[in-house]
Structure 1
């Protein structure tokens, strides 16, 4: 019996013309196994993950969400979520990198006009782009600005820490129109003149997520590279467009659940090998240690509870995507709250599991050779970037007052 079960797989509303979910889950498991073989050494080396991205590209995982008729894998979000969770169990940073790529590469289809979205996705599939950047507002003194210029626009400013920028073939960034302040989603080739990518993230966890900052100095932007408005004004933002928020936030949930399952699986294997932090002389040691058994029981309950709540959110998001333009604001609010509940549960499960797993292993968990600390550092770094306190307030306000949660893209 596993620590926590993967979500069930209801039928998708999309026509399947690609290899199918079973194929992609098998590919994800094989990729995760490859990543797990040297996860500790790679994390400690902290090199830019060009090799890991090449592995994802060769496996076909980068194009999973792109329609098959455009040259992609032709699958849906249920499969993408399961793939991210599988990869994250082996390597949380690469799971974050892949999930972030999925959200940014999918944003063109969700936000842009169909013809433009198809053009972007076809090129992304043909050239096997890896996407990086960020569309969420940043707490910076000066946002990126997009000013009109003859024949197009120019982009100026600095985007601070964003996932994937060190390995990206395309950047998706949020910029404000210089004349109106309207936020826009903009696609930029990082090889363009005036773009400077810096590896200055310097985080203690998620070190292989290829995070960094990007400077834009009068970078030319063609009209076709301005995808859409990111305004949260309800006169501009439809319920369908707002659905991008819970869709993206569920990637964070799957990432946390994957890391939870990963640390518990590794700790369990260590315990089964006969190690006990308190009773090394006992036969079968930690198999019979009541404190260890209780700890595993409590963490399994947390993990499975978070997984069950996530399943509810997954099904709600799937229904919302199926509604399309018929989705209402009330339905969007229900979906967003269910995702917030899953976020809170997954955050708690991940933080508890990665902390208490160190206690279960005992003093040996301080050994850098074992690498148990990477789970705690990766989870803590992610939960600092995506805190859930405001999500809990949204859930409480919805429960007590029926208030709709504010729209907000994931960091």
Structure 2
């Protein structure tokens, strides 16, 4: 908490930090001061990642008996959402860190995941992602007691400046998907700074090369393995819940920026015949729609998080129907977060006016970030899953995206 390498605004007096949400709220306010400039610059948010390390939030989802914060999933999701209101890139890599830890927990044996949890809590490790099951260019060869990973992975969010990676490869002989936890600095792993998209510009979601990387058998997450039980099938649902919370956080941040601009900077349209923009009935109508939409998404997301937490607590006792109910709750929340978020981040300019498009404000980053992120997997397929339930009473089929 007292690192001399962090900007003073990022440091938080431990006496003032009553909860994880207090810490996230403080960091969100601090990150907001530079978010627009960093969005323009792109690259790795190194100071912000170090602030997360120093804050203790990287330990939040780890049980207290392993040195962690012992937070439940609704609390983790609220910290993600708070960070996303000001900096959705930092929220993204932070949330995916917790997703990678959950992947270890769900796909491996206690003798594997428990030491990783302990080391993460003790050293504030950051976990990055090189899983991407749709990118099949990385292949694993079998040797006596170990595997060799070779190939490239794309969309590797948070791999830069991480201590550990969750990586996947296809077995050369069986074409089975293998998932492993490996140190990022291991020989043969190269993380590339080749992410330059219109949004989420500081997630380092570029590519990672694996050149004859040695992966030990105890680093393979094979028991129970990927998507092998209803409990292990919670992994993709956590990913979807994370996305929904990031989308809501972005929309809430856009709403807050629009409200501040409307109250302090915007000029009324001459035909409105009012002195202040906030007196314009059309402006008030827009804000009413924004608020109603956001309130609905908040309710759906809190409900989905509670469903997920209840399923998580069941552990291996979770059955397919229980998992299916969680999938439906999260899919509904994600569809709503996508639609309302895109609406708010686009229509915010209807209540702020032409001057708010000044490039220096970079208010367009909210839409760019959300538009980039909502293409992660098409919302049409979430609607199809919900339709199959609504009409046929079929639960979504587990996959890495549902």
Q: TM-score, normalised by structure 2?
A: 0.91
Detail structure 1 runs of 4+ shifted over 4 Å in the superposition. 229-232, 280-284
**Residue 159 (structure 1) aligned to one of 138, 153, 162:** 153
**How far is 1:85 from its partner?**
0.2
Decide whether the 8 Å contact of 2:108 with 2:225 is kept in 1.
no
Aligned counterpart, 2:176 = 182
Counterpart of 1:79 in 2: which secondary structure? helix
**Residue 194 (structure 1) aligned to one of 185, 188, 197:** 188
**Residue 55 (structure 1) aligned to one of 25, 47, 51:** 51
| Rounded Cα–Cα distance in structure 1 between residues aligned with 2:127 and 2:384 | 32
Structure 1 residues 185-239: Cα deviation after superposition (integer angstroms, max 9, x where no partner): 211222122111112121110001121101101101112211236544xxxx211
**Residue 379 (structure 2) aligned to one of 364, 380, 388:** 388
Decide whether the 8 Å contact of 1:274 with 1:287 is kept in 2.
no
Decide whether the 8 Å contact of 1:313 with 1:339 is kept in 2.
yes
Q: Tell me, yes or no, if structure 1 residue 99 matches structure 2 residue 95.
A: yes
**How far is 1:135 from its partner?**
3.2
Alignment RMSD: 2.0
**Residue 367 (structure 1) aligned to one of 349, 358, 374:** 358
| Rounded Cα–Cα distance in structure 2 between residues aligned with 1:103 and 1:87 | 16
| Rounded Cα–Cα distance in structure 2 between residues aligned with 1:85 and 1:298 | 21
Greater shift, 181-190 or 55-64, is seen at 181-190
Q: How does 1:163-312 map to 2 (within 5 A)?
A: 163-228=157-222, 230-232=225-227, 237-276=228-267, 278-279=269-270, 284-312=275-303
| Rounded Cα–Cα distance in structure 1 between residues aligned with 2:102 and 2:144 | 29
**How far is 1:32 from its partner?**
0.6
Unaligned runs of 5+ in 2: 1-14
Aligned counterpart, 1:71 = 67
Structure 1 residues 4-36: Cα deviation after superposition (integer angstroms, max 9, x where no partner): xxxxxxxxxxxxxxx9x9510111111111101
Structure 1 residues 364-390: Cα deviation after superposition (integer angstroms, max 9, x where no partner): 222121121110110000011232110
Decide whether the 8 Å contact of 2:131 with 2:156 is kept in 1.
no
Q: Tell me, yes or no, if structure 1 residue 114 matches structure 2 residue 105.
A: no
Unaligned runs of 5+ in 1: 1-18
Counterpart of 1:216 in 2: which secondary structure? strand
Aligned counterpart, 1:341 = 332
Q: How does 1:17-96 map to 2 (within 5 A)?
A: 23-96=19-92
Greater shift, 388-397 or 145-154, is seen at 145-154
Structure 1 residues 335-390: Cα deviation after superposition (integer angstroms, max 9, x where no partner): 10111010000000110000001222111222121121110110000011232110
Distance 1:279 1:177, change over 3 A: same
Q: Tell me, yes or no, if structure 1 residue 137 matches structure 2 residue 133.
A: yes
Distance 1:370 1:277, change over 3 A: farther
Aligned counterpart, 1:14 = none
Counterpart of 1:129 in 2: which secondary structure? coil
Structure 1 residues 32-59: Cα deviation after superposition (integer angstroms, max 9, x where no partner): 1110112111211213111110010011
Aligned counterpart, 2:8 = none
Aligned counterpart, 1:404 = 395
**How far is 1:134 from its partner?**
4.0
Tell me how many residue pairs correspond in the alignment.
386
| Rounded Cα–Cα distance in structure 1 between residues aligned with 2:290 and 2:110 | 45
Counterpart of 2:99 in 1: which secondary structure? helix
| Rounded Cα–Cα distance in structure 1 between residues aligned with 2:42 and 2:233 | 36
| Rounded Cα–Cα distance in structure 2 between residues aligned with 1:397 and 1:114 | 36
| Rounded Cα–Cα distance in structure 2 between residues aligned with 1:231 and 1:105 | 14
